[in-house]
Amino acid sequence: MPQELYVISLVLSCLALLVSAATAWLTLFRKGKLVMTQPTFVFFGPDGSRFDSQKNKVYLRTLLYSTAIKGQVIESLHIALHRNESKQNFNIWVYGDKGNLKRGSGLFIPQEGVTYDHHFLLPEDGANFQFLAGSYSLVVFAKMVGNASLKQLSSVKLNISEAQAEKLIEPNTGIYFDWGPDQQSYHSYIDKRPEQEPDLESLLEIMANKKMQPPQKARGLF
C-alpha cells in the first residue's frame, strides 16, 4: 500500500473513532441538566378541588425538558414562596392537566420535554398562608434521583398590591399572573369563582328531607 493511502486510511479511521466516541458520550454518558421554561402563568388562591376549605395553594404551567438525550428523573418538586422577610414552603406536589391530575411521585423528563400544570399545596397539618400585599419571590426546586442536594429550576418575581390583597380576603378569590413576552413581566388580575348552585339531585334530597320532618306545633296563647 502506498504511503499516502496508508496515511489517509489512518486519518479516516481516527475520525470514525472520534465520531463514535462523541456519539456514545452524547447518548450514553452525557448527563445534561434539567431546565424549566418561564411559567406562562402563576396562580395564588384557594385549592380548586376543595374551595370550601379555603386552603391556599400556588400553581403554574411550564415546560420541563432535559438537555441530554438520556433524559432526567425528578423525585419531587416543591416551591419556596418569599414575601418580604417571610418564607413558606408548598411541599405537596400535584401535576397533570385539567381533569387528569395526579400526586407527584417521580416524573421522567425527556429531551423533548413535557408541559403540565403544577399545583403546590400546603401540608395538611400546617397553618394556612395568606396572600398579603407585598413583593413575592417564587422559587421552584427539584429533587433529582441520585442527588442529595436540591436543584433550583426557576425564580419568579411577583407583586400583590394593597387593593388586590383586600380582594383576596374574600372567599373563593384568587389572583392570576400572566406572562407578557413583549414587556418581559407578569400582568396580574383578580378572579373570583362563582358559588356553585346545587344540582338537581341535591335539590331533590333537600326537598325530601323537608317533607320527612314532622310539622312543628304552633305556639298558642295559653
Distance CA 143, CA 73 (A): 9
CB 125 within 8 A of CB 103: no
Number of C-beta neighbours around residue 92 at 10 A: 18
How is the chain split into domains, by residue range? Answer: 34-199
Q: Tell me the C-alpha distance between 30 and 32, whole Å.
A: 6
- Contact call for residues 79 and 138 (beta carbons, < 8 A): yes
Per-residue pLDDT at 7: 60
Which stretches in the chain have pLDDT values below 70? 1-30, 48-54, 126, 194-222
What's the pLDDT at 96? Answer: 92
Phi, psi at 219, each rounded to 5°? -75, 125
Q: Which residue type does 67 have?
A: T
Cα distance between residue 87 and residue 131, in whole Å: 12
CATH of 34-199, one of 2.60.120, 2.40.10, 3.40.50, 2.60.40: 2.60.40
CA 115 – CA 108 distance, rounded (Å): 12
Q: Which pLDDT does position 32 carry in this prediction?
A: 84
d(CA 26, CA 21): 9
The confidence score (pLDDT) of residue 5 equals: 62
**Cell 378541588, residue?**
49
SS3 174: strand
